[in-house]
Structure 1
Amino acid sequence: MELIFATNNAHKLEEVQAIIGDRFVVKSLADIGCTDDIPETGVTFEENAKQKTDYLVDRYGLDCFGDDSGLEIDALNKEPGVYSARYSGSRDMEKNIDLVLAKLGDNPNRTARFRTVISLFLNGQQYFFEGAIEGTIIRERRGSGGFGYDPIFIPAGYDQTFAEMTSEEKNKISHRAIAVGKLATFLKENSPG
């Protein structure tokens, strides 16, 4: 079974394919020749994820899924949230991390969570799956793996940042892993074969 994932982010594609397994072929936007910059103008993760699938269904008519993810920091009123990828006004993650650390300063409340919402369009129906992982924002970057805010996020119950974990370790516990796990279970229960 083929599903289009509304992304050209190689890291995300890799993570999702590893979780879903080889029973399903996950294709990127590039794989279907879509070079459009799909709008993300929603104010919630759900709205942005749905916007992606609606866009692909309207233009290509294919079964697909899209996600929106972000970091919510309690002391910053859940910022950066839906603006996580462009928090500093650009998509430069180093600047985004710098801004988070500057805004947090010496605030002792460092609790945060990563959230992912997936919108699936399958056989004419829309479904949503969510994953979240609680954790803490540290004061300096650690690790060279992962992407985004991974170098400053330590998941609850661990002493390593996401960027210090192997992709296998991260894929077992991440917000995206939780949401994609729910998606994979749904697909296995609701697809032929």
Structure 2
Amino acid sequence: MSLKSCHYQTLVVASSNPGKVEEFVDFLAPLQFQVLAQPEGMQIEEHGITFAENARLKALEVATRTGYMALADDSGLCVDALGGEPGVYSSRYASNDQQRIEKLLTALEGIRERSAHFSSALCLAMPQNEVLLEVEGICRGVITNVPRGDHGFGYDPIFEVLDKGLTFAEMSSEQKRACGHRGKAFSLLEPKLKQLVMAK
């Protein structure tokens, strides 16, 4: 299916996370899409074992159910000392951001090796079960001993980006986009998305 045969001006971000949707609204602004969040109350079962599998599941489901092109991100924090946890279960690690942070810091008590990385898998899909693009971006860093900063969401206050000396929560949105996992993933997606739009 070509973009011309669908509502290519509208793109649905396959997420119910307001912070994540806001990031993609900023990313997509130069491309002049009408960006929508997925319909309120829409629940999608994430049963993939990798970020890429979950992103594909979400993008295809939202595209099919809304009739619009859908962009899904599945991302999470992988901590080396915890065998890659919480990984694909990052958003389900506890009930809310504060509890997730507290649980992770508790799990790392007394552990000096605190290297970790954030991974973001993006999938762009069209209705009728068609995947257009898939990419993945990674940002490496360490888990701090205490939360720092009041920007961002999720694990941002305890993830210090490698060689930056700042957590995501201490960065401006521009800084986070430049070095963050979603920003890196989108930088891979953007030129391909532009080509699709130009070929409509």
TM-score (norm 1): 0.90
- 2:159 is the alignment partner of 1:153: yes
The 5 Å alignment of 1:25-40 reads 25-30=34-39, 34-40=40-46
Could you tell me whether the CA contact under 8 Å between 1:53 and 1:119 is conserved in 2? yes
AA matched with 1:173: C
Could you tell me whether the CA contact under 8 Å between 2:74 and 2:121 is conserved in 1? yes
AA matched with 2:20: K
2:104 to 95, 100, 108: 100
- 2:16 is the alignment partner of 1:8: yes
3-state DSSP of counterpart to 1:106: coil
3-state DSSP of counterpart to 2:198: coil
State the superposition RMSD in angstroms: 1.6
Could you tell me whether the CA contact under 8 Å between 1:19 and 1:181 is conserved in 2? no
Q: How many residues align?
A: 188
3-state DSSP of counterpart to 1:21: helix
Q: Distance in 1 between matches of 2:138 and 2:131?
A: 24
* Greater mean alpha carbon deviation, residues 138-147 or residues 15-24: 15-24
Q: What is the CA-CA distance between 1:79 and the residue it aligns to?
A: 0.2
Q: Distance in 2 between matches of 1:19 and 1:62?
A: 18
Could you tell me whether the CA contact under 8 Å between 2:81 and 2:113 is conserved in 1? yes
* Greater mean alpha carbon deviation, residues 100-109 or residues 6-15: 6-15
Q: Distance in 1 between matches of 2:141 and 2:61?
A: 33
Q: Distance in 1 between matches of 2:173 and 2:114?
A: 24
Partner of 1:66: 72
Moved runs in structure 1, 4+ residues, more than 4 A? none
3-state DSSP of counterpart to 2:42: coil
AA matched with 2:10: E
Could you tell me whether the CA contact under 8 Å between 2:79 and 2:86 is conserved in 1? yes
Which runs of 5 or more structure 1 residues have no equivalent in the other structure? none
Partner of 2:3: none
- 2:194 is the alignment partner of 1:185: no
1:109 to 95, 109, 113: 113
